[in-house]
Amino acid sequence: MVDEYVDNDRSAWSGRERPQYAAMLADLEDRRFDALVTYHQDRLSRNPREFEEFLAACERVGMRRFTTVCGVTDLGNSDGIMVARVFSAIAANASDATSRRVRRASDERAAKGLPHGQGERPFGYERDGLTIREDEAAVIRAAVARLLAGESVTSLVGWLGEKGVTTSTGKNVWRSPTLRNLLMSPRIAGLRQHRGEVVGPAAWPAIITVEQHERVVALLTNPARRTLRTARRYSLSGLVRCALCGGKMVSAPNRDRRRYGCRSGPDFGGCGKVYVTAPSLEAFIAEAVLMRLDSPAMAEALAGRHGADSDYQRLTAQVREDTEQLEELARAWADKRISMGEWLTAKQVVADRLKDTERAIARLSRDDALIGLVGTGERLRAEWDDLNVSQQSAIIRTVVDHVVIDKAKGPSPRLDPGRVRAIWRV
């Protein structure tokens, strides 16, 4: 006995990598053994192409002794090889039939809006996949609200770590890709996804609204969005401009003091003449932003922009129509008014159109982060110090395009408001 090769829980038909099978082939090529024993031929392979590769390897090294505990396989003559090939084809067909039955059952569950019924417990729901777990649902709702307010996924991961929230297994800490997938999942909006497409409403209750789901997807799939960021220390990073040369002012700490500065030199290109203390400037701009959020002009400007945007209205109406059509198709198949093939063909057309529409909305939705913020300045003022820098920066950026800083008239520890000019986005 030279060795034993065991690939537990790895299909001999799916085509996925089987490390021990690959090791057995390598040892065969190296002539480490001259006979192979397996329980049954279909334990060796259920894929005719893969079995032909095994036969070719046997031919190259001259191995003829291949035997099974159940059945007889003789590679010593052409008749034995033919029988082995027939066994391989039969095993492949049996696996294919099983796969078709599994796919058909999966299609039926999807059309009824039922969960997959296997795998790990989904975060936010109990093991049955149908009952909301309220403590986790509250975390999801809070994360969605903070994301739509402009907080980054990286910042949210840090927040979950601080709160001691783990994934549904109870063992793993959150990572940015894991949280991103959860927040984009149609499941938490009460939608049933099947083979990468939303096929209709789910049998379980929603944790967030479909509108929130669409906004999250548009936000996180925007190519212009950077998803991996280091933690912020300056809430106005990238927003501050020098009044003298127009250059972008960057962090320019002086000992233990945070400052923004128009730095000169080849790496910066500024004039080097304008500096301002960061904490006082950030507090001044934050107060201005909170006041602007409560101004009637802000609400009117935002309503006018979206109200006049006929493309935005047309696209959102198209999303509603296509979503309703997907639901109608699923009901028609469940009621046996159309066949499975008709359902799949029609669903693909609608789903493709829906994807194109959502991408178009993502390009137009530049003020999404303002939704839910207008008129909340007073509330945010009470909560401002409890927000992290990423949250503060996100809210500021929804309102401010950039901030222009004039040169100081003389040394002073206090900020002169006359040096500051905010250029508003809205």
**Long-range own/partner contacts, residues 411-414 (CB < 8 A, 24 or more apart):** 413/277, 414/280
Task: Characterize the bridge pairing of strands 400-405 and 275-277.
Answer: unpaired
Most confident of 183-187, 352-356, 387-391: 183-187
Instruction: Output the DSSP codes for 113-151.
Output: T-----SSPPTTB-TTSSSB-HHHHHHHHHHHHHHHTT-
- Quick one: 276 and 380 in the same domain? yes
Most confident of 119-128, 235-244, 330-339: 235-244
- Quick one: 289 and 385 in the same domain? yes
Is the confidence at residue 24, as pLDDT, over 80?
yes
80: domain CATH number is 3.40.50.1390
Most confident of 78-82, 183-187, 192-196, 328-332: 183-187
Give per-residue pLDDT as tens, 141-179: 989 988 887 778 888 888 888 888 989 887 777 888 899
Is the confidence at residue 180, as pLDDT, over 80?
yes
Domain-embedded: residue 197: yes
Is the confidence at residue 50, as pLDDT, over 60?
yes
Could you give the number of structural domains in the chain?
A: 3
Question: Average pLDDT over the chain, rounded to whole?
Answer: 81
Domain-embedded: residue 404: yes
Host domain of residue 399: 240-294+375-424
Last residue of a domain, one of 167, 186, 220: 220
Domain-embedded: residue 337: no
Give per-residue pLDDT as tens, 198-216: 878 888 899 999 888 988 9
Place of tokens 């002073």: 412
- Quick one: 382 and 287 in the same domain? yes
> Of the given ranges (12-21, 124-133, 307-316, 329-338), which has the lowest mean pLDDT?
307-316
Segment 32-57 shows an average pLDDT of 84
- Quick one: 271 and 413 in the same domain? yes
How much is the pLDDT for 14? 60
- Quick one: 154 and 97 in the same domain? no
155: domain CATH number is 3.90.1750.20
C-alpha pair distances (Å), 366 with each of 147, 379, 395: 14, 24, 13
C-alpha pair distances (Å), 80 with each of 10, 66, 77, 116, 338: 27, 10, 5, 43, 48
Neighbours of 228 (CB within 10 A): 8
Q: 300: number of CA atoms within 13 Å, CB side? A: 3
Element (H, E) at 389: helix 389-399
- Quick one: 104 and 214 in the same domain? no
Task: Characterize the bridge pairing of strands 400-405 and 240-242.
Answer: parallel
On whether the CB atoms of residues 285 and 395 are closer than 8 A, the answer is no
Domain-embedded: residue 120: no
- Quick one: 59 and 88 in the same domain? yes
Domain-embedded: residue 181: yes
Work out the burial of residue 20: count CB atoms within 10 Å of its CB; fewer than 13 is exposed, 13-18 middle, 19 or more buried.
middle
Domain-embedded: residue 160: yes
Say if pTM beats, i.e. exceeds, 0.85. Answer: no
- Quick one: 286 and 381 in the same domain? yes
Domain-embedded: residue 234: no
Amino acid identity of residue 96, one-letter, is D
- Quick one: 270 and 395 in the same domain? yes
How much is the pLDDT for 228? 46
Domain-embedded: residue 3: no
- Quick one: 94 and 176 in the same domain? no
- Quick one: 283 and 388 in the same domain? yes
- Quick one: 196 and 100 in the same domain? no
